[in-house]
Amino acid sequence: MFETLEALSPDAILGLTAAFRDDPRAQKIDLGVGVYRDEQGNTPILKTVTEAEKRRFATETTKTYIGPPGTPGFNALVRKLMFGGNHAVLKDKRVAGVQTPGGCGALRMGAELIKRARPDATIWVSDPTWANHVPLLGSAGIKIETYPYYDKQTRGLNTEAMLAALAKVPSGDLVLFHGCCHNPSGVDPQRADWQEIAKICSERGLTPYIDLAYQGLGDSLDDDAMGLRIMADACPELLVASSYSKNFGLYRERVGALQIVTKTSAEVSKVQSQIDSVVRTSYSMPPAHGAALVEIILGDEALNVAWVKELDEMRERINGLRDVLAERLAAATGQDFSFIQKQRGMFSFLGISPEQVTRLQKECGIYMVGSSRINVAGINNANLEYFLESCARVLK
């Protein structure tokens, strides 16, 4: 039967990792997949994660199943992290949720739940959005549309066009927002924008679906959850897909969560039973290890403080690189790159043509996504000059 299948092209992001690995050039630079890298170019295991693993190995007594929702402790702690301890949705007990295999697992489980609850709804995603959003959500059989987001001229948010488009989204549809650190553009709405967005969503009866994959890597854990909290204040229903790949460096352990805010606390058990069933009929239940580490860290005051410090260091390194790149790229190419400094998270578009992206890869061994998205964290003191020289050569 497999003769009916056609070979597919490599994944737009993951394919770059394989191509980079096979490139023999010593000076090659990987600015592709979104993983944090330190000054040495490594993606280290956080010290707090290592400590949590030690505690886990010392205290774990069983490998029995944990059930479709994952552990109650994990779900409660990540809710507190995203909504803040005092948010009304927590006090009012209006949240159902599941621990998931990564943020992707959360996004897909959310889409499957939406399919059960409102099969004809459309999910509106920003233009552009993360390359895997449409395949991941669309594979659940949901219709996807886009709303304008990024302004190629200003390299910022196309606020007017976005708000005008959202004001026309049919009632009952869902709108996917990046909670912070927009992937791929690095352009985030400001407080006033979030307030406008929330007003439109609440007035039109649109359900926000928030992808929170980079909390803590933009400005701070609380600042990066501002949009989500504003939306949760204004809208009666909401879904949040969160990932702990980046902020805990737990990429391969696949740790995420889907939290669902319901209109009333009376609806929570019904929604919980449905999302448990979605999980049970997809992969039965999530893996335990990575989420257990997050639970240990968030549940221990001293470890929590130490983790926030490690997260601060990652973020400060990225934001420091943004300053360096904005200044040095301008000096090297004679073009304006000040937008890099204003953007947040791991990614920015360099704003160069697909031909220039190809030349950087072919001639210089510098790998980035075809849209010219770079992972800022891939730059370090050892490769900066070569990166600048290469950009100067290709861009001038």
With a CB cutoff of 8 Å and minimum separation 6, the contacts of 88 are 232, 233
Token representation of residue 155: 């390299």
| Residue 130 vs 150, nearer CB to ligand LMR | 130
Write down the least CB distance from residue 196 to ligand LMR, Å.
27
Written as one letter, the residue type at 119 is P
| Residue 69 vs 105, nearer CB to ligand LMR | 105
114 CB-side CA count, 13 A:
35
CA 90 vs. chain centroid, Å, equals 23
Residue 126 binds ligand LMR (CB under 6 A)? no
- For ligand LMR, the binding residue among 83, 130, 248, 337 (CB under 6 A) is 130
Token representation of residue 160: 């007017």
- For ligand LMR, the binding residue among 20, 30, 31, 34 (CB under 6 A) is 34
Three-class SS string for 103-126? HHHHHHHHHHHHHHHCCCCEEEEE
Written as one letter, the residue type at 100 is T
Residue number with the smallest Cβ distance to ligand LMR: 34
Is residue 130 flagged as an active site residue? yes
Q: Is the dihedral of CA 252, 108, 168, 117 positive or negative?
A: negative
Token representation of residue 63: 């490998």
Residue 371 binds ligand LMR (CB under 6 A)? no
Token representation of residue 288: 């335990």
Binding-site size, ligand LMR (CB under 6 A): 6
Token representation of residue 162: 């976005």
Residue 132 binds ligand LMR (CB under 6 A)? yes
Catalytic residue among 124, 188, 224, 246: 246
| Residue 49 vs 374, nearer CB to ligand LMR | 374
Write down the least CB distance from residue 179 to ligand LMR, Å.
14
Residue 33 binds ligand LMR (CB under 6 A)? yes
- Cα–Cα nearest to 297, from 49, 30, 6, 124: 49
Write down the least CB distance from residue 41 to ligand LMR, Å.
16
* Beta carbons within 10 angstroms of residue 267's beta carbon: 15
Token representation of residue 174: 């869902």
Residue 13 binds ligand LMR (CB under 6 A)? yes
Write down the least CB distance from residue 130 to ligand LMR, Å.
5
- For ligand LMR, the binding residue among 48, 100, 183, 242 (CB under 6 A) is 183
Residue 256 binds ligand LMR (CB under 6 A)? no
Is residue 246 flagged as an active site residue? yes
| Residue 71 vs 132, nearer CB to ligand LMR | 132
Write the burial class of residue 207 (CB in 10 Å: 0-12 exposed, 13-18 middle, 19+ buried): buried
* Window 79 to 108, contacts with ligand LMR (CB under 6 A): none
Contact 95, 261 (CB under 8 A): yes
Is residue 124 flagged as an active site residue? no
| Residue 122 vs 132, nearer CB to ligand LMR | 132
Catalytic residue among 130, 173, 194, 307: 130
CA 61 vs. chain centroid, Å, equals 33
Write down the least CB distance from residue 86 to ligand LMR, Å.
30
Please identify every residue annotated as catalytic.
Answer: 130, 211, 246
Contact set with ligand LMR (CB under 6 A): 13, 33-34, 130, 132, 183
